[in-house]
Each structure stands twice: as structure tokens, then as C-alpha cells.
A and B are shown apart, each in its own frame.
Chain A
Amino acid sequence: MDEKTHTFRYTVHGEDFLSAGEASMHAKRTLKELGYSSDLIRRVSVAMYEGEINMFIHAGGGEAKMEVGENEITVTLIDWGAGIPDVDMAMREGYSTATADIRSLGFGAGMGLPNMKRFADELTVSSTVGVGTKVVMRFAIRNKE
């Protein structure tokens, strides 16, 4: 990160599932205004939305931060939820601990973290059971449109 980094902070609410996505939508609009490529915007906003959904489902909300630097965008997601006992397992496509209620809304397919990994250039998950989870995603800025 450098001096020209712009930081945007969001609160991810844990009460209303249907409001999930506010942070990623805002991030998407912001990046569009800043003139980044649609591919980069899509990757950042989809990955962030998955993070928001995860924080809602598993942690009762949390905080999201997007830092836009010269060469990369970093998204940091922090929650104080139950934590992930086995991160490797959670990274597997199709593995989910979400409830039937969440599944009936179209989520809980076990694609959240795998999608985040797929869309970010780098994904770091650190989690402590009973304390919370921190996810850091880095996206390289290859070219500005």
C-alpha cells in the first residue's frame, strides 16, 4: 500500500439477510466511478459479496474495508463470530455448515470461500474458534480502462 491509497469502510449487518450486499454494491459503484476495468470490478464485488453473505450466515455481521492503491485493491473482512475450525475444509467446493433456511434462500452451497479464492489474486484466511475470522483478499490492478 502506498500514500495514494483510498480506504473505504463498511459495516456488514447481521440482522437482515436481505440487506447483505450493501457493502459490495457500494464498492462496485466506487470502483466504477474511479474508472477500473469491468473485470476487476466484477471480481472485487463478487468476492466481497460472498464475504458479506458469509459474515451474515456464520458471524452475525462484521466489518469490511476496501483499500484502493496504485497497484492493488485489498479487501479485508473481519468478524467476531464462531470462527472456522478447519479452514482447509471450508475452502472445499460444496462444503457448507449453513442451515436449511439459508439454503432455501439460494446460499449455503459451499461456494463462498472457493469463489473468493477464485476471484482474488491472493486470499488469506485466519480464524480462531470462538474469537472470529479475518479474510484478506488482494486484487492486482493490471490496467485501467
Chain B
Amino acid sequence: MMGKMTVRELGDKLNLTAFCLPNPDAEVTGGYVGDLLSWVMGRAGEGQAWITIMSNRNVAAVAQLTEVACVILAEGVQPDSDLLTAAEAHGINLLGSARDSFTLAVELGKRNKE
């Protein structure tokens, strides 16, 4: 299992861009990777860092419903303006990285052992 780590700490360790960080002290308990929103909605768990390349307002809705700790947009994907607005309105931590989902997941997994 993962040691205690906040979204802010994860962002620092993985050198993520913070697009919107209203809740930096949320604890990250694991990760989930997926772009099909229904799939993510059915499987992602509370407190996970959700890595995706999907960037539209529904991402904020799914993040809110699943209560993931944060959303990480991979591959340099920028949040579209609707997503950013929704994330700000609903208190969703939204970060990003130029790295791909696999690399981000590996790096997130490595933090388990630190």
C-alpha cells in the first residue's frame, strides 16, 4: 500500500503542473488510469490519482462523483476552458504532465516504496 502522501507532495515529486489545486492536502491512496469515463466511474476509487488524456467538463463530473484525490492530464493535454471552470467550481484538483499515462503510473507506483 501507499504511504501517506498529499496531492501537493505528489505534484512536487512528479513535477506536475497544477492547473487548479483547491484541495492540496487531499491524501493520495493509489492511482487509476483510464479515458473511458464510464469505465473510470465504475472502477476508480476514492483518494486515487486519476491519470487520463481526456479533457472536457465531464472529467470534473466524474472526478467529483468518484471522489478521486486528483486528476492528472497526461501527454501534455491542456484542460479545456469548461473543464477548468468546472474544476474550480467544484473543488477538483487538476494537474498535468508532458509524460504519458504509463510513465506517470510507473512513477506514481514508485512513490509507494519511498
Given A106-B56, A107-B36, A111-B38, 16 other A-B residues pairs in contact with their CB atoms under 8 A: A21-B58, A28-B64, A28-B65, A46-B42, A49-B62, A53-B38, A105-B56, A106-B35, A106-B54, A109-B36, A109-B37, A109-B39, A111-B41, A112-B38, A115-B42, A119-B42
Q: Can you sample 23 A-B contacts with CB below 8 Å?
A: A18-B57, A18-B82, A20-B61, A24-B61, A24-B65, A25-B65, A38-B46, A38-B67, A42-B66, A46-B41, A49-B65, A50-B38, A53-B38, A105-B56, A106-B35, A106-B56, A106-B58, A106-B59, A107-B58, A109-B38, A109-B39, A114-B42, A115-B41
Q: Point out the residues of chain A lying under 8 angstroms from B54, CB to CB.
A: 105-106
Min CB gap B34→A, angstroms: 9
Min CB gap A95→B, angstroms: 12
Contact indicator B46/A115 (Cβ below 8 Å): no
Contact indicator A105/B38 (Cβ below 8 Å): no
Judge whether A45 is part of the interface by a CB distance below 8 angstroms: yes
Contacts A18-B82, A46-B66; A115 near B38 (Cβ below 8 A): yes
Residues in chain A within 8 A of chain B (CB atoms)? 17-18, 20-21, 24-25, 28, 38, 42, 45-46, 49-50, 53, 105-107, 109, 111-112, 114-115, 118-119
Q: Point out the residues of chain B lying under 8 angstroms from A50, CB to CB.
A: 38, 41
